[in-house]
């Protein structure tokens, strides 16, 4: 039996629009414009799957005045980008996204302070040199979730999964904001991936691109200057211009609406409600540069998620505490300065105590709590640590020693740790320069003893971080500093008695009997790695510290 289905298009400054689709043999169906700026039409169609698009008299300056153009629905939840059509599904007389039924919505998920994040690019996460299958899809990633659970990961940050042009890229030029990237699989596949993550206690964060769009985004074709800045938002920042930028300052007085606010707010609500995501990483916040809008958008993201935790993360480079709570609009910021200052120390190029301490203790940079920063040694935008080491002539055993040092610093610093996929076993491929060529991570490395040992080291460190409340706290104190020997010791604690001490040797010297005075008091101490008790005599611990290594002591 046929049902009446409404199609609508928000285009307040456009004169005329029509609907065309497979349900009408691609003949035009006129649409009526209302006072609210919407074109609407109703048609009778049976349950099924249909292709459609709008034909509209464009207001964009790159067309002739009122030129008729065909556009994909800006709110389409599925598209065929090759054919330039929207796809809609009708079931039981209603338009639906798909028929997926969530299985694990009642699963208890970790709080923000407990997180260990894994940044993932779906296409490059599976497959590779020794894999006969192309892979690189949501369902392939599901097969690796038990590996991530074994590692101890409890949050995945997905690089953009909105529909982008072509079949491979990093996804940062979004064309269709409500549709998922079809080369990774279907909408049901993505929901199944998120559901399977939740089943394992793993939260899923989405990379949200709300600064700019692809040049052929439907909004660009309908009425460019209604949704976007007419010119570059920051003309002095040409190196960081990636496409037409949403104009969050534009206000339509007649309709009492800020068009870009409305559209992106709808996008965020849709992803939270339809895909049950647990957080958003906001791309290019420095370029977006509108904290009023970000504060409103962050509030939209957290609606309808209670009692589940949600996490709003800024990519603001250079990082700044002004973007984070309690004064800023978002919960956290990618802590680029952690990597920037930590890398030269791990590589033995410098020893600057002030820089070390301010990134290990981001309160010195103005951040209020541990959840305000996301620490990392590598991201999709930065080379893997092993690549950085290799570029400096540090290879083989020496590289694995430095990698373990980096792992300790990452997991014991104040803040939330994040791994870029493959970092945990020593991936060393150079990052993609064009972002259009696949860079599968080399899973075959895990068959090598040194790489497997690094994986096991990360696994043990992550378990320590999750088990010891002190490492999730806002507290850190530097109680021993030795600039000549390049040794730094700090303690992490909470107010319930949990305490950890980290001693780091940033030099190329071995200290067989290094003395650490003023060692924090505890009933007893254990060397974390060897799981042996250590003795503190007259508040002094004497221990051996090898070059470019760290020791961890846990109170008993």
Domains of the chain: 2-96 (2.60.40.10), 112-211+246-467 (3.20.20.80), 476-555 (2.60.40.1180)
Q: Which residue's structure tokens are 């409103």?
A: 296
What is the mean pLDDT of the segment spanning 528-550? 97
Q: Using H for helix, E for strand and C for coil, what is the string for 327-392?
A: CCCECEEECHHHHHHHHHHHCCCCCCHHHHHHHHCHHHHCCCCHHHEEEECCCCCCCCHHHHHHHC
**pLDDT-based confidence at 435, cuts 50/70/90?**
confident
pLDDT digits (tens, 9 = 90+) for 1-24: 799 999 999 999 999 999 999 999
Q: Is the pLDDT of residue 177 over 90?
A: yes
Q: Which residues of 449-468 are buried (b: 16+ CB within 10 A; e: fewer)?
A: eebeebbebbeebbebbbeb
pLDDT digits (tens, 9 = 90+) for 462-500: 999 999 999 999 999 999 999 999 999 999 999 999 999
**pLDDT-based confidence at 352, cuts 50/70/90?**
very high
- For residue 3, list its beta bridge partners: 45
- pLDDT, mean over the chain: 96
**289 is written with which tokens?**
């540069």
**pLDDT-based confidence at 312, cuts 50/70/90?**
very high
pTM: predicted TM-score of the whole model, two decimal places: 0.97
Q: Is the pLDDT of residue 266 over 80?
A: yes
In the prediction, which pLDDT does 233 show? 86
**pLDDT-based confidence at 235, cuts 50/70/90?**
confident
In the prediction, which pLDDT does 74 show? 98
Q: Is the pLDDT of residue 169 over 80?
A: yes
In the prediction, which pLDDT does 167 show? 85
What is the mean pLDDT of the segment spanning 501-525? 97
pLDDT digits (tens, 9 = 90+) for 33-78: 999 999 999 999 999 999 999 999 999 999 999 999 999 999 999 9
In the prediction, which pLDDT does 240 show? 86
In terms of phi and psi (left: phi > 0; alpha: psi -120 to 50; beta: otherwise), the region of 397 is alpha
- For the beta carbon of residue 436, count every other beta carbon within 10 angstroms: 12
The dihedral of CA 378, 383, 388, 389: what is its sign? positive
Residues 6+ apart with CB under 8 A from 125: 136, 140, 141, 144, 421, 441
pLDDT digits (tens, 9 = 90+) for 73-92: 999 999 999 999 999 999 99
**pLDDT-based confidence at 353, cuts 50/70/90?**
very high
Q: Is the pLDDT of residue 234 over 90?
A: no
Q: Is the pLDDT of residue 359 over 80?
A: yes
Q: Is the pLDDT of residue 166 over 90?
A: no
Q: Which of 195, 223, 315, 319 is catalytic?
A: 315
In the prediction, which pLDDT does 500 show? 98
Known catalytic membership, residue 315: yes
- For residue 203, list its beta bridge partners: 155
pLDDT digits (tens, 9 = 90+) for 493-504: 999 999 999 999
Q: Which of 283, 319, 331, 388 is catalytic?
A: 283
Known catalytic membership, residue 283: yes
Contact at 8 Å (CB) between 270 and 262? no
Contact at 8 Å (CB) between 12 and 252? yes
**261 is written with which tokens?**
């606010």
Q: At what angle do helices 291-301 and 259-275 cross, to 10 degrees?
A: 30
- For residue 552, list its beta bridge partners: 502
Q: Is the pLDDT of residue 132 over 80?
A: no
**79 is written with which tokens?**
């598209």
User: What percent of the chain lies above the pLDDT cut of 70?
Assistant: 100
What is the mean pLDDT of the segment spanning 503-507? 98
Q: Is the pLDDT of residue 205 over 80?
A: yes
What is the mean pLDDT of the segment spanning 358-387? 98
d(CA 40, CA 33): 6
pLDDT digits (tens, 9 = 90+) for 98-113: 999 999 999 999 999 9
Q: Would you state the torsion angle of the CA atoms of residues 86, 90, 96, 97, taken in this order, to the nearest 10 degrees?
A: -40
Residues 6+ apart with CB under 8 A from 58: 14, 66, 67, 68, 69, 221, 222, 223
In the prediction, which pLDDT does 128 show? 79
Alpha carbon 438 to its chain's center: 19
pLDDT digits (tens, 9 = 90+) for 221-231: 999 999 999 98
- For residue 500, list its beta bridge partners: 492, 554
**425 is written with which tokens?**
């076993």
Alpha carbon 241 to its chain's center: 20
Q: Is the pLDDT of residue 232 over 90?
A: no
């Amino acid at each position: 039996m046929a049902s009446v289905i409404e199609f609508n298009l928000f285009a307040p400054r456009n004169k005329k629009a029509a609907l065309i689709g497979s349900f009408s043999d691609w003949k035009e169906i006129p649409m009526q414009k209302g006072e609210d700026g919407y074109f609407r039409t109703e048609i009778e169609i049976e349950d099924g799957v249909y292709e459609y698009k709008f034909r509209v008299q464009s207001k964009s300056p790159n067309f002739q005045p009122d030129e008729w153009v065909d556009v994909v629905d800006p709110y389409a939840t599925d598209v065929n980008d090759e054919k330039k059509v929207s796809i809609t599904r009708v079931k039981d007389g209603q338009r639906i996204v798909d028929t997926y039924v969530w299985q694990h919505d009642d699963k208890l998920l970790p709080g923000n302070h407990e997180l260990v994040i894994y940044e993932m690019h779906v296409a490059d996460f599976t497959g590779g040199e020794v894999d006969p299958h192309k892979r690189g899809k949501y369902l392939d990633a599901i097969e690796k979730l038990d590996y991530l659970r074994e590692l101890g990961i409890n949050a995945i940050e997905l690089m953009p999964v909105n529909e982008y042009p072509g079949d491979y890229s990093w996804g940062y030029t979004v064309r269709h904001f409500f549709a998922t990237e079809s080369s990774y699989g279907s909408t049901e596949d993505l929901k199944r991936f998120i559901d399977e993550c939740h089943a394992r206690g793993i939260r899923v964060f989405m990379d949200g691109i709300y600064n700019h769009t692809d040049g052929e985004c439907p909004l660009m074709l309908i009425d460019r200057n209604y949704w976007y800045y007419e010119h570059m938002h920051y003309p002095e920042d040409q190196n960081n211009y990636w496409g037409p930028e949403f104009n969050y300052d534009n206000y339509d007085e007649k309709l009492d609406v800020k068009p870009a606010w409305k559209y992106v707010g709808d996008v965020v609500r849709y992803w939270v409600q339809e895909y049950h995501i647990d957080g958003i990483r906001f791309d290019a916040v420095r370029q977006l540069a509108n904290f009023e809008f970000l504060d409103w958008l962050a509030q939209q993201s957290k609606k309808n998620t209670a009692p589940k935790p949600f996490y709003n993360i800024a990519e603001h480079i250079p990082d700044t505490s002004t973007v984070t709570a309690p004064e800023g609009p978002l919960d956290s910021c990618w802590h680029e300065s952690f990597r920037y200052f930590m890398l030269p120390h791990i590589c033995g190029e410098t020893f600057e105590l002030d820089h070390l301490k301010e990134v290990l203790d981001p309160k010195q940079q103005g951040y209020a709590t541990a959840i305000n920063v996301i620490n990392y040694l590598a991201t999709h935008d930065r080379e893997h640590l092993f690549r950085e080491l290799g570029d400096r002539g540090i290879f083989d055993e020496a590289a694995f020693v430095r990698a373990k040092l980096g792992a300790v610093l990452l997991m014991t610093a104040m803040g939330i740790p994040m791994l870029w996929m493959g970092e945990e076993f020593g991936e060393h491929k150079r990052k993609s320069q064009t972002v259009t060529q696949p860079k599968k991570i080399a899973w075959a490395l895990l068959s090598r003893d040194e790489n497997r040992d690094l994986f096991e080291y990360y696994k043990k460190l992550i378990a320590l971080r999750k088990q010891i409340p002190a490492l999730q706290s806002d507290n850190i104190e530097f109680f021993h500093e030795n600039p000549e020997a390049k040794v730094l010791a700090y303690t992490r604690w909470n107010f319930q008695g949990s305490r950890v001490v980290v001693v780091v040797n940033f030099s190329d010297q071995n200290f067989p009997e290094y003395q650490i005075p003023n060692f924090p008091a505890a009933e007893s101490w254990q060397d974390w790695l060897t799981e042996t008790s250590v003795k503190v005599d007259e508040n002094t611990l004497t221990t051996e510290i090898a070059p470019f290594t760290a020791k961890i002591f846990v109170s008993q």
